[in-house]
């Protein structure tokens, strides 16, 4: 007998019927003799709807109040799922982030978890309860409600699994596992039976939204095995994410993803003196804005241009900051490019294989796709392209790196009646 943490995403709890089927999947795990903690997201597109509602009230909703609003979505689904489980005669109770003690820093809309209290969780498990916890939310030491960022319920689940020392964390979603790319873009894409934390982390960071990046970071840090599997086909074990995959890596590229939520900002005519970049990026860091790709180039007149990308949610603040810097340093024009997507290939097997980058650029060129920026790391190469070319690029790269299969992925279906 062990402890299993199960997480069900929004599509898995989108209506009453699906909630009942999730209840049966939870009970099945309990009947296997395990203690079960379930983490759920808000029903269907509830979070999107709440954000839309807030923006109808005001274009710039206050981030504290937005967290207050968004955290209600998960509270609806935990109560309904708990009622469903109880209706089958099982002991269950729901808990929100505050009741569990999911303690976070006080950064609204993207708070990081700093601690999870396990005393109440253990007490309720010992009393034979199935516990249903609200994902995506936490509380600061001062009692302020926070959220972890979009898709953050995955992180809630893995962090709870780490804190309670669970045997496994099963992430149930609307696809049958982790594929080499989003199966909605390339239906005949290869599925992975296993994938390493490193590769999954990088894939999640560059836009494979099947897992919240911080969930993989936490799993890697605390050695929590994760299974990504389908709520609609419980017999399929999906993909196991673990520490070490094969001793030798045969495929240089494990996965491909695109991120079209970035914006490129270019500042021209910056003084070419020590400390300029430190001022630009220091000011952004002070406002908690993460910068992704950066290019600095020297112009013939002895000045520098710096181009970088930020998340679209940080756009307004970034532009304000960059304008201040422009005035302070007497820099030139600022230009903004919103029509971009970052396409990345990821694979532990690309280390020491210089031909991979060339193959990527060639595949893009053959498809008439212009590259606006490039960045590389040991296991990743990213190219910035025009938004409308992102899917075309992914399809071409899947072909180039042998990531197609002859089986079509099942993306959505109805939950089976157990
Ligand atoms: P949930 O609501 O269950 O959290 P998400 O929508 O966050 O579900 O994540 C599942 C979706 O992730 C899938 O429907 C799929 O379209 C997308 N996805 C993107 N990249 C991948 C990938 N490499 N493997 C599997 N799914 C992916
Ligand atoms: N409900 C939140 C969202 O839609 C969290 C999650 O689904 O993981 O982003
Ligand atoms: Mg998700």
Q: For all residues of the chain together, what is the average pLDDT? A: 94
User: How confident is residue 301, by pLDDT bands cut at 50, 70 and 90?
Assistant: confident
Assign 266 to helix, strand or coil: strand
Instruction: Note the maximum CA span of the chain.
Output: 77
Give the atom of ligand 2 at the shortest distance from the alpha carbon of 48.
4
Mind listing the pLDDT tens digit for each residue in 203-234?
A: 999 999 999 999 999 999 999 999 999 999 98
Which residue did the predictor score with more confidence, 406 or 227?
Answer: 227
> Which protein residue has the closest C-alpha to ligand 2 atom 6?
151
Query: How many helices and strands, by DSSP H and E, does the chain display?
Result: 12, 20
Residue 356 Cα to ligand 2 midpoint, Å, equals 35
Please state the rounded mean pLDDT for residues 38-60.
Answer: 97
Assign 108 to helix, strand or coil: coil
The confidence score (pLDDT) of residue 416 equals: 45
Secondary structure string (H, E, C) spanning 209-242: CCCCHHHHHHHHHHCCCEEEEECCCCCCCCEEEE
CA angle centred on 258, ends 177 and 361, rounded to 5°: 115
Mind listing the pLDDT tens digit for each residue in 80-128?
A: 999 999 999 999 999 999 999 999 999 999 999 999 999 999 999 999 9
Would you say the pTM of this structure is higher than 0.85?
yes
d(CA 180, CA 403): 6
User: How confident is residue 136, by pLDDT bands cut at 50, 70 and 90?
Assistant: very high
Strands 35-40, 130-134: pairing kind: parallel
The ligand whose atoms approach the alpha carbon of 254 most closely is 1
Residues in CB range of 352: below 8 A, 6 or more apart = none
If we measure between CA atoms, which residue out of 68, 78, 128 comes closest to residue 100?
Answer: 78
Give me the domains of the chain, ranges plus CATH numbers. 3-245 (3.40.1160.10), 252-402 (3.30.2130.10)
User: Which residue's structure tokens are 């970052």?
Assistant: 342
Element (H, E) at 343: strand 340-346
Mind listing the pLDDT tens digit for each residue in 337-394?
A: 999 999 999 998 888 788 999 999 999 999 999 999 999 998 999 999 999 999 999 9
pLDDT cut 70: percent of the chain above it: 96
- Given a cut of 70, whether residue 414 has pLDDT beyond it is no
Residue 151 Cα to ligand 2 midpoint, Å, equals 4
d(CA 396, CA 409): 18
183 Cβ closer than 6 Å to some ligand 2 atom: no
| Top mutation candidate among 6, 8, 9, 10 for ligand 2, by most atoms within 8 Å of CB | 10
d(CA 386, CA 364): 12
Assign 10 to helix, strand or coil: helix
- Given a cut of 80, whether residue 412 has pLDDT beyond it is no
Strands ordered across the beta sheet of 102-104: 113-116, 102-104, 137-139, 145-147
| Top mutation candidate among 46, 151, 212 for ligand 2, by most atoms within 8 Å of CB | 151
Give the atom of ligand 2 at the shortest distance from the alpha carbon of 156.
8
Element (H, E) at 291: strand 291-298
> Which protein residue has the closest C-alpha to ligand 1 atom 7?
210
Residue 210 Cα to ligand 3 midpoint, Å, equals 6
User: How confident is residue 415, by pLDDT bands cut at 50, 70 and 90?
Assistant: very low
């Amino acid at each position: 007998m062990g402890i299993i943490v199960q997480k069900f995403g929004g599509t898995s709890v989108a209506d009453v019927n699906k909630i009942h089927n999730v209840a049966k999947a939870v009970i099945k795990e309990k009947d296997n003799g395990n203690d079960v903690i379930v983490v759920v997201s808000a029903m269907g597109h509830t979070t999107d709807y709440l954000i839309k509602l807030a923006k109808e009230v005001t274009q710039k909703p206050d981030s504290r109040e937005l967290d207050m609003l968004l955290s209600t979505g998960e509270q609806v689904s935990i109560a309904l799922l708990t009622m469903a489980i109880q209706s089958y005669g099982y002991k269950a109770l729901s808990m929100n982030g505050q009741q569990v003690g999911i303690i976070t820093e006080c950064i609204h809309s993207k708070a990081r978890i700093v601690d999870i209290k396990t005393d109440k969780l253990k007490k309720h498990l010992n009393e034979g309860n199935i516990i249903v916890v609200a994902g995506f939310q936490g509380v600061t030491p001062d009692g302020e409600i926070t959220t972890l960022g979009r898709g953050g319920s995955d992180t809630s689940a893995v962090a709870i699994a780490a804190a309670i020392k669970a045997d496994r964390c099963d992430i149930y979603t609307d696809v049958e596992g982790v594929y080499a790319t989003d199966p909605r873009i390339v239906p005949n894409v290869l599925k992975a039976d296993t994938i390493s934390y490193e590769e999954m982390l990088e894939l999640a960071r560059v836009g494979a939204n099947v897992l919240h990046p911080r969930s993989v970071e936490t799993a890697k840090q605390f050695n929590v095995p994760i299974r990504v599997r389908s709520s609609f086909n419980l017999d399929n074990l999906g993909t196991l994410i673990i520490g070490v995959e094969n001793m030798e890596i045969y495929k240089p590229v494990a996965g491909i993803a695109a991120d079209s939520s970035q914006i490129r900002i270019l500042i021209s005519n910056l003084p070419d003196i020590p400390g300029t970049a430190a001022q630009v990026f220091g000011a952004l860091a002070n406002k908690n804005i993460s910068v992704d790709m950066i290019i600095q180039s020297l112009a013939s007149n002895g000045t520098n241009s710096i181009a970088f990308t930020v998340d679209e949610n940080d756009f307004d603040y970034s532009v304000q900051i960059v304008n201040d810097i422009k005035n302070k340093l007497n820099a030139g024009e600022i230009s903004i490019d919103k029509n971009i997507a970052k396409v990345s290939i990821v694979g532990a097997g690309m280390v020491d294989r210089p031909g991979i980058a060339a193959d990527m650029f060639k595949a893009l060129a053959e498809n008439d796709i212009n590259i606006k920026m490039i960045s590389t790391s040991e296991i990743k190469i990213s190219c910035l392209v025009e938004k409308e070319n992102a899917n075309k690029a992914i399809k071409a790269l899947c072909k180039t790196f042998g990531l197609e299969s002859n089986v079509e992925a099942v993306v959505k279906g109805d939950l089976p009646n157990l």
